[in-house]
């Protein structure tokens, strides 16, 4: 079968070094794919000036499109006048120039003679018709052409829509989907060639519906954002702030695409930007990039446009308590019923936008997508919603909700009068997601998931409502962990604690899992059913079982994670160090016992008779990081944020982290001076730095050269198991105990202290910071020893444990922990 | 004559390289031993009648004598320069006063009557050798006594402490820095540095990845790289404190890190006659003094009076003072405490504009003052500086 032929993409050409083109190129090199970034020849200076400038721009963007600072060096720059011959060496050509049919047509004519005979050509258009674009290509290239729609920012947004043209070769589409999924880590949805495809069609309609009902009910934009954000499982930017972030001009273009492409649509009259919106665009208030849009910042105050006032006012209108209570109702049926019944304007708004969105999706499903799953996943992956529209509908009771919508269509309350499609009320229908698959109106059948071989790598893919995860059979289960297997002789341990924090019970569970793995399995994988990997140690006692559902996996949580600076990572450490109880009761010995147990577990992961693999996705902080450092291998998704953040609450890593850095520095020094190697490790821990990607974590030394980075988080478990097999097949033996470790010793500690002395004298740090820093220095340099003294692992573990306990005994560290627990904010003392 | 000596030491040649900015300036890849060899050759070339075989010793200052400027860079420089191998070489280190110390030590050999021809100099690459050296390794014992914490302090912190204790404002520091740039730029425009600078041919070796050839690029460096046109109070006011969280010392009112070298040739009266040499200046005297390490910037306050006493001169006798501008804060504290006449200080700008290649600065500024005094037909000049870990140094020259 052609689609199973090996298709290797060595090099990709990206045409157009705009915001999307440059970021797509960045993500390609993040994934180890060579990228050639083309743009027009610069009129002055370096002919590749435009592309060069775009690459410089990548370095300044936040959150960073680049996995590491150096990866951008792998993007080569080119221009259409000098370098078209380079296209011949590219396996994939992604066109991402401005959305002008004529420009694209001209470019296609120009590049067509240079495209390799097997290469795929794809347009990243978000608006133009793929079939119309295909016509601009010479006939012999059309079979290798399709749409490939990335979402901004492409590194972080999981969704890529593939839009086949009529003549697109099926095998080519499969190859492309495979590449995007496994090599770039994206979630691929096949969309039909209709205006704005799937995610933008639904997502933009949802914004237009909000525009309409905001005005109709006289609500404030800030009020609507308070309602349509995290309260309903959507990004914090909610509705209007999302418009600002995207750019009102860009959003305007997307709306125009619907206006011009869907003149006969029942909602056609809403496919137009409202007057206030056009007014903002006309004045250049284009949103975030123009520093003014729906919102603006005046001094320190955030202001929002007020339609009644015709001017900006202080932003800050909240959702009213009663509506918040309704929206927090975990039962979707009751929630929608209450919203519908309420006379509060905010509740009426929420019901109206939900109703119209569901109505819209039901009517459009057949024309825009193959099936309901594709719509739900597209909106989740492309817009960061926690649940898709059909999932919500089905969860709330399909027929009940359908009845309400039909009733309100009849009553003329809905935005459009189009009736619900007949399939909605098929007899016996309880939804669109069933064990047999997701409903496809066009085919009038339930469609199973894609059988493309690449999806075999996703043992536990992202699921839609009602889809069960294949989490195998339980080996043993406690309140804190579940250890399971799928019959492949590999044990997997997953934590059940909140944010996968590590308490005594988790430590017990991991120990037991190691025991079980040693007895009857080829190896052990630590893998969580969703991110984070672990936010670290919880020294208080039994870990509270997780109360909340999984976090939204899309944009919102991604942005949050990536933007998290060292300081706010420290904030997270708050929850990890639930030592307050123990402290208050004066049970320091108990804490020491837990620390000892933690270290023992780290060592057990290192020295077990079977390979241990940490499968990391999302945050791995503090004790979570220390587990990662002690497993034989880490297999980390690119979006892993790893760091030792203990200093934020006045402590140092004591689950083997200091010891591990001391050993790694000694090994890297290869008999030479240890300090230069130790220094950066010290800095990472002393400033609670959290890596901004798995590759960054490797640069920082949390991950080793032998650890694997996986682009697609849903392939983590597959790759982790493959590592178990590889290590096991290679005749795995645990490493020999480290008994002669040279340490940097007292003069290295003194040199660090000299640096801290300057920070203290310059008022950059407090006396207590100085104490924490010098304690960390002592723990990492081996204590008061001559440089190069040889110690064993136990020496270093005892030292970090004692240093940890000494800090824990100080009033100021206790005050830091207490404040963090009470307020969630770090204390500088 | 101001004071009595066994015999006098006369400077007959004084040259320096232009000063490059570190770590990314014109000399970023130029080795300090090459810079030294260059100034040695150029110093000798200016006194062609001198038989180099008569040179007794060469003393070279270097503040961080390791790596590219290690293993006795004085001797290496002499050999690289192609000088007779009969000339011995000594590298000395008194941090920022190393170059001046080298001149004083060389003069002393003559003044003692044990040598007739000496070479002195200084060289430093702050591009290639980091401040504090490639391996910082402090003694744990310094933390046992508060008075010794100053050993650990970076120079910027000591400047902050001086600014605090001497109440030197940010505005005063910035104004001082602006003046330094203005004077230096005027000096360059006026050709005032032409006598002392021996232009250096920089040779870069860069790969041409297209042709796989080594490209050898040559360019001449003849002007100091540090002075920045357009430096004004507004631009400096925007800079954030570089060392203390709410301090006043910034990158703009501190000396620049730099690369450079300087060399002088000193002879006895007998040698003057033997080789028919014209003296440029007489070495009049030198003193050093210690101060608390944490306020090292005030070093000249202790050293200048000592040097004046030794030479029997009064402050008023000095026509020109090269006060090394490690920081505007310490410069202003020194000027105020000693009651120095600001019009006599750094008429061609100082280290804030011209740069401060640590151990080379003393030799470089000796070249500046020796030529400057003659050009202006002035008589007495002083080169003084503060020194890390709490010292000051001052040397006095009499133009002839």
Output the DSSP codes for B58-110: EEEE-SS--GGGTTTHHHHHHHHTT--TTSEEEEE-BTBTHHHHHHHHHHHHH
Q: How far is A40 from chain B (nearest CA, A)?
A: 23
pLDDT digits (tens, 9 = 90+) for A574-590: 444 445 555 545 567 78
Q: What count of other Cβ atoms lies within 10 Å of the Cβ of residue B38? A: 24
* A717-734 average pLDDT score: 98
A746–B135 CB contact, under 8 Å: no
Q: Is there a contact between A611 and A724 (Cβ–Cβ < 8 Å)?
A: yes
Cα distance between residue A625 and residue A694, in whole Å: 12
Q: Which residues contact B192 (CB under 8 A, 6 or more apart)?
A: B348, B372, B375
Q: Give the span between the Cα atoms of A105 and A100, in whole angstroms.
A: 9
Mutate to test the interface with A, among B143, B163, B241, B246 (most CBs of A within 10 A): B143
Structure tokens at B109: 């050999």
Q: In a mutagenesis test of the A interface, which of B67, B146, B152 is the best target, namely the one with the most A β-carbons within 10 Å?
A: B152
The confidence band for A568, taking pLDDT boundaries of 50, 70 and 90, is very low
| E strands in A29-74 | 34-39
Cα–Cα distances in angstroms (integers) from residue A659 to residues A613, A663, A664, A776, in the given order: 20, 6, 9, 11
Confidence of residue A412 (pLDDT cuts 50, 70, 90): very high
Among residues B38, B62, B96, B181, which one is catalytic?
B96
Asked if A622 contacts A535 with a C-beta cutoff of 8 angstroms, the reply is: yes
CB contact under 8 A, B245 and A764: yes
Q: Which of B38, B62, B371, B386 is catalytic?
A: B386
Q: How far is CA A705 from CA A628, A634, A665, A695, A735, in A?
A: 13, 10, 14, 10, 16
Average pLDDT, chain A: 92
Under the banding of pLDDT at 50, 70 and 90, the label for residue A228 is: very high
Please give the backbone phi and psi of residue A499, each rounded to the nearest 5 degrees, phi first: 50, 20
H-type alpha helices, A481-639: 504-520, 555-563, 566-576, 580-584, 588-607, 623-630
H helices of B241-360, in order, are 269-274, 299-311, 328-338, 351-354
pLDDT digits (tens, 9 = 90+) for A625-670: 999 999 999 999 999 999 999 998 999 999 999 999 999 999 999 9
Which segments of chain A belong to CATH 3.90.226.10? 473-808
What is d(CA A740, CA A782) in angstroms, rounded to the nearest whole number? 12
Give the CA radius of gyration of chain B.
20
Question: Is A749 in the B-facing interface, judged by CB distances under 8 Å?
Answer: yes
Residue with tokens 């975990």: A330
The partner residue sitting opposite B247, judged by closest CB among A676, A754, A762, is A762
Q: Which residue of B has its CA nearest to A764?
A: B245
pTM reported for the whole predicted model: 0.90
Shortest distance, CA B389 to any CA of chain A (angstroms): 13
- Sequence-separated (6 or more) residues with CB below 8 Å from residue A28: A12, A14, A34, A35, A75, A184
Beta bridge partners of B356: B257
- Which residues in chain A are closer than 8 Å to B245, comparing Cβ atoms? 762-764
Q: For tokens 């933690």, what's the residue?
A: A598
Residue in chain B lying closest to A754 (CA): B152
* Residue A289: predicted pLDDT: 86
What per-residue confidence (pLDDT) applies to A591? 87
Q: What is the gyration radius of the CA atoms in chain A, in angstroms? A: 28
Q: How far is A571 from chain B (nearest CA, A)?
A: 23
Q: Determine the Cα–Cα distance for residues B99 and B121; give it in Å rounded to an integer.
A: 6
What's the token pair of residue A734? 């645990």
- DSSP structure class, residue B231: -
Q: Whose CA is closest to B248, among A762, A208, A804?
A: A762
Give the model's confidence band at A789: pLDDT under 50 very low, under 70 low, under 90 confident, else very high. very high
Check: CB of residue A368 under 8 Å from CB of residue A161. no
Number of CB atoms found within 10 A of residue A468's CB = 7
A54 token code pair:
């775009």
Number of H helices, E strands in chain A: 30, 23
Residuewise pLDDT in 10s, chain B (400 residues): 455 558 999 999 999 999 999 999 999 999 999 999 999 999 999 999 999 999 999 999 999 999 999 999 999 999 999 999 999 999 999 999 999 999 999 999 999 999 999 999 999 999 999 999 998 889 999 999 998 999 999 999 999 999 999 999 999 999 999 999 999 999 999 999 999 999 999 999 999 999 999 999 999 999 999 999 999 999 999 999 999 999 999 999 999 999 999 999 999 999 999 999 999 999 999 999 999 999 999 999 999 999 999 999 999 999 999 999 999 999 999 999 999 999 999 999 999 999 999 999 999 999 999 999 999 999 999 999 999 999 999 999 999 9
B101 and B362 in contact (C-beta within 8 Å)? yes
Residues of A in contact with B160 (CB under 8 A): 761-762
pLDDT number for residue A824: 77
Q: For A88-106, what is each residue's pLDDT tens digit?
A: 999 999 999 998 899 999 9
pLDDT at A822: 80
Question: Tokens in use for A661?
Answer: 């850095």
- Kindly list the residues from chain A whose CB atom is less than 8 angstroms away from the CB atom of residue B165: none
Among residues B371, B352, B364, the alpha carbon closest in space to that of B17 is found at B364
User: Inter-chain contact B143–A757, Cβ cutoff 8 Å?
Assistant: yes
Query: Which residues of chain B neighbour A748 with C-beta distances below 8 Å?
Result: 137
Which two structure tokens, joined as six digits, stand for B302? 């202790």
Residue B356 bears catalytic tag: yes
Q: Look at residue B4 in the predicted model and tell me its pLDDT.
A: 54
pLDDT at position A566 over 50:
no
Q: Look at residue A242 in the predicted model and tell me its pLDDT.
A: 94
pLDDT of A496-534, one tens digit each?
Answer: 999 999 999 999 999 999 999 999 999 999 999 999 999
Is the CB of B131 inside 8 Å of chain A's CB atoms?
A: no
Residues of A in contact with B157 (CB under 8 A): 758, 761-762
Return d(Cα B321, Cα B318) in angstroms, integer: 7
CATH number of A199-447: 1.10.1040.50
DSSP β-bridge partners for residue A147? A123, A163
Which residues have a Cβ under 8 Å from the Cβ of A474 and sit 6 or more positions away? Answer: A482, A483, A484
Please report the pLDDT score of residue A555 as a whole number: 35
pLDDT digits (tens, 9 = 90+) for A144-166: 999 999 998 999 999 999 999 99
CATH class, A2-190 region: alpha beta
Residue A5 confidence (pLDDT): 63
| pLDDT higher than threshold 90 for residue A135 | yes
Distance from CA of B140 to the nearest CA of A (A): 5
Q: Check CB contact of A748 with chain B, cutoff 8 Å.
A: yes
Q: Where in chain A is the domain with CATH 1.10.1040.50?
A: 199-447
Q: How far off is chain A from B245, nearest CA to CA, in Å?
A: 5
Across A425-450, average pLDDT: 95
What would the CATH number be for the domain defined by A473-808? 3.90.226.10
Predicted confidence (pLDDT) at residue A770 exceeds the cutoff of 90: yes
Q: Which of A754, A764, A784 sits opposite B152 (nearest CB)?
A: A754
Q: How confident is the model at residue A559 (pLDDT cuts 50, 70, 90)?
A: very low
Interface test with B, best of A750, A751, A761, A763 (most B CBs within 10 A): A761
Residue A577 is predicted with a pLDDT of 44
- Decide if A751 touches B, using CB distance below 8 A: yes
Contact A757 B152 (CB under 8 A): yes
> Parallel, antiparallel, or unpaired for β B391-399 and B281-290?
antiparallel
Inter-chain residue contact A763 with B245, CB threshold 8 Å: yes
Amino acid A589: pLDDT = 78
Taking the CA atoms of B220, B223, B228 and B230 in sequence, report the sign of the dihedral they define: negative
Q: How many CB atoms lie within 10 A of CB A808?
A: 24
Q: How confident is residue A133, by pLDDT bands cut at 50, 70 and 90? A: very high
* Pair A248, A277: CB distance under 8 Å: yes
Q: What mean pLDDT comes out for the span A300-316?
A: 93
Torsion of CA A225, A227, A230, A232, to 10 degrees: -140
Q: If you measure CA to CA, which chain A residue comes closest to B151? A: A754
The CATH 3.40.50.720 domain(s) of chain A lie at 2-190
A784 touches chain B (CB under 8 A): yes
Cβ–Cβ < 8 Å for A757, A637: no
The mean per-residue pLDDT over the stretch A362-368 comes to 97
Clarify whether B62 is annotated catalytic.
no
Task: Say if the Cβ atoms of A750 and B143 lie within 8 Å.
Answer: yes
Q: Are A216 and A304 in contact (CB under 8 A)?
A: no
- Percentage of residues in chain A having pLDDT higher than 70: 93
Per-residue pLDDT, A539: 52
Cα distance between residue A469 and residue A460, in whole Å: 6
**For residue A756, what are the CA distances in angstroms to A40, A236, B215, B295?**
50, 39, 44, 18
d(CA A596, CA A588): 12
Cis peptide before A153 (omega within 30 of 0): yes
The pLDDT of residue A548: 38
CB contact under 8 A, B135 and A763: no
Any A CB within 8 A of B208 CB? no
Whole-angstrom CA distances from A594 to A541, B67, B155 are: 9, 48, 45
* C-alpha pair distances (Å), A64 with each of A673, A698, B48: 34, 17, 62
B153 to chain A: which residues are within 8 Å by CB?
757-758, 761
Query: Rounded to an integer, what distance in angstroms lies between the CA atom of residue B75 and that of residue B60?
Result: 9
Q: What are phi and psi of A163, to 5 degrees?
A: -120, 105
């Amino acid at each position: 079968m052609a689609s199973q032929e090996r298709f290797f993409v060595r090099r990709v050409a990206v045409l157009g070094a705009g915001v999307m083109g440059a970021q797509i190129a960045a993500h390609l090199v993040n994934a180890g794919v060579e990228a050639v970034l083309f743009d027009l020849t610069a009129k002055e200076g370096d002919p590749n000036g435009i592309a060069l400038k775009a690459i410089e721009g990548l370095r300044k963007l936040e959150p960073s499109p680049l996995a590491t600072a150096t990866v951008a060096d792998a993007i080569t720059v080119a221009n259409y006048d000098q370098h078209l011959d380079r296209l011949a060496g590219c396996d994939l050509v992604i066109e991402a120039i401005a959305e002008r049919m004529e420009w694209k047509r001209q470019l296609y004519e120009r590049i067509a003679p240079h495209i390799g005979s097997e290469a795929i050509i794809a347009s990243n258009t978000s608006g133009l018709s793929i079939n119309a674009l295909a016509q601009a290509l010479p006939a012999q290239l059309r079979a290798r052409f399709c749409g490939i729609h990335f979402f901004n920012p492409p590194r972080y947004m999981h969704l890529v829509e593939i839009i086949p043209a009529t003549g697109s070769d099926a095998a080519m589409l499969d190859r492309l989907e495979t590449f995007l999924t496994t090599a770039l880590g994206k979630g691929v949805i096949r969309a039909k060639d209709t205006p704005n495809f799937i995610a933008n069609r639904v997502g933009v309609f949802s914004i237009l519906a909000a525009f309409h009902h905001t005005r109709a009910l006289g609500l404030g934009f800030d009020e609507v954002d308070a309602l349509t954000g995290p309260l309903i499982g959507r990004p914090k930017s909610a509705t209007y702030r999302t418009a600002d972030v995207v750019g009102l001009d860009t959003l305007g273009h997307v709306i125009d695409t619907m206006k011009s492409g869907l003149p006969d649509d029942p909602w056609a009259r809403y496919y137009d930007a409202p007057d206030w919106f056009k007014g903002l665009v006309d004045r250049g208030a284009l949103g975030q990039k123009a520093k003014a849009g729906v919102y603006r910042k005046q001094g320190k105050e955030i202001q929002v446009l007020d339609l009644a006032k015709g001017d900006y006012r202080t932003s800050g209108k909240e959702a009213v308590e009663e509506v918040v209570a309704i929206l927090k109702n975990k039962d979707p049926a009751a929630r929608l019923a209450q919203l519908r019944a309420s006379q509060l304007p905010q509740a009426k708004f929420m019901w109206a936008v939900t109703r119209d969105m569901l109505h819209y999706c039901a009517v459009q499903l057949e024309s825009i997508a193959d099936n309901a799953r594709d719509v739900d996943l597209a909106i989740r992956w492309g817009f960061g919603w926690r649940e898709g529209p059909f999932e919500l509908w089905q969860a709330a009771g399909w027929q009940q909700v359908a009845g309400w919508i039909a009733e309100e269509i009849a009553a003329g309350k809905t935005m459009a009068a189009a009736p619900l499609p007949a399939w909605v009320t098929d007899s016996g229908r309880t939804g669109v997601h069933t064990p047999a698959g997701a409903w496809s109106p066009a085919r009038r059948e339930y469609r199973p998931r894609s059988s493309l071989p690449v999806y075999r790598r996703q043992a536990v893919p992202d699921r839609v409502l009602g889809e069960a995860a294949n989490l195998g059979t339980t080996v043993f289960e406690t309140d804190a962990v579940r250890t399971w297997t799928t019959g492949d002789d590999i044990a997997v341990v997953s934590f059940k604690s909140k944010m996968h924090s590590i308490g005594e019970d988790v430590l017990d569970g991991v120990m037991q899992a190691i025991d079980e793995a040693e007895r009857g399995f080829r190896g052990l994988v630590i893998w969580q059913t969703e991110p984070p990997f672990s936010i670290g140690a919880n020294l208080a006692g039994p870990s509270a079982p997780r109360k909340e559902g999984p976090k939204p996996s899309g944009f919102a949580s991604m942005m949050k994670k990536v933007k998290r600076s060292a300081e706010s990572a420290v904030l997270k450490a708050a929850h990890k160090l639930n030592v307050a109880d123990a402290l208050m009761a004066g049970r320091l010995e108990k804490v020491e016992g837990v620390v000892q147990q933690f270290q023992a577990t780290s060592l057990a992961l290192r020295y077990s008779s079977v390979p241990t693999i940490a499968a990391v996705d999302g945050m791995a902080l503090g004790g979570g990081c220390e587990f990662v450092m002690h497993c034989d291998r880490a297999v980390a998704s690119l979006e892993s944020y790893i760091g030792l953040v203990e200093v934020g609450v006045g402590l140092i890593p004591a689950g083997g982290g200091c010891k591990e850095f001391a050993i790694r520095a000694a090994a890297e020094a290869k008999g030479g001076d240890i300090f230069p190697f130790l220094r950066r490790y010290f800095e990472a821990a002393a400033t609670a730095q959290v890596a901004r990607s798995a590759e960054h974590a490797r640069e920082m030394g949390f991950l080793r050269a032998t650890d694997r980075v996986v682009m697609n988080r849903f392939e983590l478990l597959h790759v982790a198991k493959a590592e178990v097999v590889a290590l096991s097949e290679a005749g795995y033996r645990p490493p020999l105990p480290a008994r002669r470790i040279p340490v940097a010793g007292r003069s290295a500690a003194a040199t660090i202290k000299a640096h801290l002395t300057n920070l203290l004298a310059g008022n950059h740090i407090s006396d207590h910071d100085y104490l924490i820093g010098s304690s960390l220095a002592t723990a990492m340099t081996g204590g008061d020893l001559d440089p190069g003294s040889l110690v064993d692992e136990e020496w270093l573990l005892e030292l970090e444990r004692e240093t940890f306990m000494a800090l824990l005994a100080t009033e100021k560290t206790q005050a830091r922990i207490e404040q963090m627990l009470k307020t969630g904010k770090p204390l500088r003392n | 004559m101001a004071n009595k000596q066994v015999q006098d030491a006369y400077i007959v040649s004084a040259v320096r390289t232009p000063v490059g900015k570190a770590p990314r300036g014109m000399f970023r890849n130029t080795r300090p031993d090459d810079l030294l060899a260059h100034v040695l050759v150029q110093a000798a070339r200016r006194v062609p009648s001198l038989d180099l075989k008569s040179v007794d010793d060469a003393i070279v200052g270097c503040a961080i004598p390791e790596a590219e400027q290690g293993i006795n860079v004085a001797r290496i420089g002499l050999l690289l320069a192609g000088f007779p191998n009969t000339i011995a070489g000594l590298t000395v280190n008194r941090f920022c006063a190393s170059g001046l110390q080298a001149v004083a030590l060389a003069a002393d050999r003559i003044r003692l009557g044990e040598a007739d021809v000496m070479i002195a100099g200084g060289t430093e690459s702050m591009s290639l050798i980091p401040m504090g050296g490639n391996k910082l390794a402090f003694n744990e014992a310094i933390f046992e006594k508060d008075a010794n914490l100053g050993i650990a302090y970076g120079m910027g912190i000591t400047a902050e402490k001086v600014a605090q204790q001497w109440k030197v404002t940010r505005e005063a520091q910035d104004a001082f820095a602006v003046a330094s740039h203005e004077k230096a730029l005027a000096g360059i425009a006026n050709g005032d540095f032409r006598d002392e600078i021996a232009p250096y041919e920089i040779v870069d070796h860069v790969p041409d990845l297209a042709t796989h050839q080594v490209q050898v690029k040559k360019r001449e460096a003849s002007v100091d790289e540090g002075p920045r046109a357009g430096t004004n109070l507004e631009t400096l006011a925007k800079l954030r404190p570089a060392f203390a969280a709410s301090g006043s010392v910034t990158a703009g009112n501190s000396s620049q890190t730099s690369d450079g070298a300087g060399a002088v040739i000193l002879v006895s009266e007998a040698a003057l006659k033997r080789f028919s040499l014209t003296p440029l200046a007489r070495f009049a005297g030198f003193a050093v003094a210690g101060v608390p390490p944490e306020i090292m910037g005030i070093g000249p306050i202790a050293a200048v009076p000592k040097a004046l006493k030794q030479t029997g001169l009064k402050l008023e006798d000095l026509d020109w003072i090269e006060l090394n501008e490690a920081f505007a804060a310490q410069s202003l504290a020194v000027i105020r405490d000693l009651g120095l006449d600001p019009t006599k200080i750094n008429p061609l700008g100082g280290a804030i504009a011209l740069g401060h290649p640590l151990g080379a600065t003393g030799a470089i500024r000796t070249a500046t003052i020796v030529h400057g005094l003659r050009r202006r037909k002035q008589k007495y000049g002083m080169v003084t500086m503060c020194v890390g870990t709490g010292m000051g140094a001052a040397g006095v020259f009499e133009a002839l």
